[in-house]
Amino acid sequence: MTTTLPAPQADDLQHDFDATISDDRRIEPRDWMPDAYRKTMIRQIAQHAHSEIIGMQPEGNWITRAPSLRRKAVLLAKVQDEAGHGMYLYSAAETLGADRADMTGKLITGRQKYSSIFNYPTLTYADVGVIGWLVDGAAICNQVPLCRASYGPYARAMVRICKEESFHQRQGYELLLTMMRGSDKQRAMVQEATNRFWWPSLMMFGPPDHRSPNTEQSMQWGIKRHTNDELRQRFVDMTVPQAAKLGVTLPDPDLRWNEERGRHDFGEIDWSEFDAVLKGDGPCNTQRVQHRRAAHEDGEWVRDAATAYAAKTAARRAEKKVAS
Ligand SMILES: [Fe+2]
Ligand SMILES: [Fe+2]
């Protein structure tokens, strides 16, 4: 969406936009915004929406095999929440002029990304707990500051999403506490799942600051409030006592409290794994996108029916108007 305006008017608009950002007010859909801001916002919101929708798959995999009715009800509620998060976010992207069908098309043809964490498999029921604890826990660290993001519809969607994420984190942790009070085999399952998900969870914060070229601009625009490394550190500090209470060991021999810094030191992240998964070489990349594409194709009749119904209703309404 390119708007060419006479120079003085364009300067005024830019000035208003800059003032809104520096006063920590919100940019709303009808406000003028630089094309680059709009593009960045659309990319970020679409990627976030896709992550919510693809994120339904790893845990959805366990709904039919939940160990009890209660666990099934909890898991169903959680996975449904993720669908809702996707819907709020696609709607927020639409307020910027993005088209939902186009965003879905880009996801299923690999032209838009989603969070790499969902390209890892869920091998046991303990994974459901560990995903809630670590993956939703990391998502909360990332998303709480987004409640103050400069784009109004995104910030407001994040407020509700964060409330639900907090339920997700707790249901995961509660499941793990229950398993840790169970048999040796159950405790071993929790430890094994923690070993698999710890490092990928740390990667959820994105590349280290010196390799994150967009961070500075996003911070200037009030989209991002903290750098990737700051958020990662916050997550580690928050999670270490939770792991201790649970009785699991985080798989990092270099993890220890640093008295001087007042924070935890932790080991080097294997960024070559992050790069490989991002490029499409993770354990489940193909499966996740294929499944999403199949669901989209299976749903074609629903979209057709809804569109036909909407057209019919609009025609009836128009007829009534003419008659009265
Ligand atoms: Fe979510
Ligand atoms: Fe969640």
Q: How far is the CA of 2 from the centre of ligand 1 (A)?
A: 32
The pLDDT score that the predictor gives to residue 2 is: 59
Per-residue pLDDT tens for 213-250? 888 899 999 999 999 999 999 999 999 999 999 999 99
Distances (CA, A) of 162 to 76, 167, 174, 204, 238: 18, 9, 18, 16, 17
By the CB criterion, residues less than 5 angstroms from ion ligand 2 are 136, 165, 168
Nearest CA to 197 out of 275, 120, 278, 288 is that of 120
Q: Looking at residues 135-161, what average pLDDT do you find?
A: 96
Residue in the block written with tokens 């995903």? 131
Instruction: Please report how the helices 35-54 and 69-94 are oriented relative to each other, as an axis angle in degrees rounded to 10.
Output: 160
Ligand showing the shortest atom-to-Cα distance for residue 86: 1
Per-residue pLDDT tens for 35-51? 999 999 999 999 999 99
Query: CATH classification of 10-323 is 1.20.1260.10, yes or no?
Result: yes
Per-residue pLDDT tens for 2-26? 566 666 687 899 999 999 999 999 9
Per-residue pLDDT tens for 166-179? 999 999 999 999 99
Q: Looking at residues 151-176, what average pLDDT do you find?
A: 96
Q: How far is the CA of 45 from the centre of ligand 1 (A)?
A: 13
Ligand showing the shortest atom-to-Cα distance for residue 82: 1
Q: How far is the CA of 177 from the centre of ligand 2 (A)?
A: 19
Instruction: Calculate the CA dihedral of residues 116, 117, 121, 123 and round it to 10 degrees.
Output: 170
Q: Residue 26 class from Cβ within 10 Å (0-12 exposed, 13-18 middle, 19+ buried)?
A: middle
Q: How far is the CA of 143 from the centre of ligand 1 (A)?
A: 10
Ligand showing the shortest atom-to-Cα distance for residue 52: 1
Q: Looking at residues 114-130, what average pLDDT do you find?
A: 97
The percentage of residues in the chain with a pLDDT greater than 70, rounded to a whole number, is 98
Q: How far is the CA of 324 from the centre of ligand 1 (A)?
A: 47
Ligand showing the shortest atom-to-Cα distance for residue 172: 2
Contact 210, 201 (CB under 8 A): no
Residue in the block written with tokens 């490029």? 279
Task: State how far Cα 248 lies from the chain centre.
Answer: 26
Q: How far is the CA of 15 from the centre of ligand 1 (A)?
A: 35
The pLDDT score that the predictor gives to residue 4 is: 65
Phi, psi for 190 (deg, rounded to 5): -65, -45
